[in-house]
Amino acid sequence: MLLTPLTPAGRRWVVGLVALLATAVLTAIGARLAGGHHTSQSHAAAGPTATSSPAAGPTSTVTGPAASQSNVARTTDPIEFAQDFTRVLWSYDTSTSRTSYLASLSDWLTTEGQYADPASVTTQVPSEQVWAEMSAQHQHATATGLAGHIPAQFTQALNADPGELSVAYIYAVTVTGTQHIVWAGGQGTEARSITVAVQCRPDQDCSLAAISPTVYP
């Protein structure tokens, strides 16, 4: 069965999950991505209202696992891992450099290159220019109330063919929560959600494979 053509980001996401999802589910995901129904959001620059505006696109990419992984959650539970990663993703302090923030996120990526999608992480981070503007406003953010679950489509696909999980051991996890943003002279909150691909091989700590361009319920 042929899939609907995907965007580059969509192809990277499907590569990470192709061993896990049944053909019918892949077709549905491909059609949804091709239709442009993307709901994931970037960090936002401070604005005059409680809800911030999406940041401009990034100008560099994450380059794979760093030597130090001290900030990475050590767990074999994909939902717990996804929640911990999302907390780091949605919590930032622009008094530090954008490069340092990206490096802290890259630490979470799997070392298995065929499944790691660093570009999907970088797209969640504001560009250098926007980061500088946020820094000038002393902007920082924290994440609270995080809750994760396995999307229904993923569960249905695994129930249809449980053996497929043993290929890459990648789980799709959707995390919801609240991001609190503070800047000079203002603050705001934003309800957010994200779907990430988490690799949890037996007897190994979990790692990040990719961030989906679409949020799956």
Ramachandran area for residue 64 (φ above 0: left; ψ -120 to 50: alpha; else beta): left
- The predicted structure's pLDDT at residue 96: 95
Give the start-to-end residue ranges of the domains of the chain: 8-211
Q: State the burial class of residue 145 (Cβ atoms within 10 Å of its Cβ: 0-12, 13-18, 19+).
A: exposed
- The predicted structure's pLDDT at residue 149: 97
- The predicted structure's pLDDT at residue 185: 92
Q: How far apart are CA 74 and CA 206, in angstroms?
A: 7
Question: Which residues of the chain register pLDDT less than 70?
Answer: 1-70
**Amino acid at the residue 123:** T
Helix boundaries (H) for the chain: 8-17, 23-34, 78-89, 98-106, 118-122, 128-136, 152-160, 165-168
Pairing between β-strand 53-54 and β-strand 92-93 as defined by DSSP bridges: unpaired
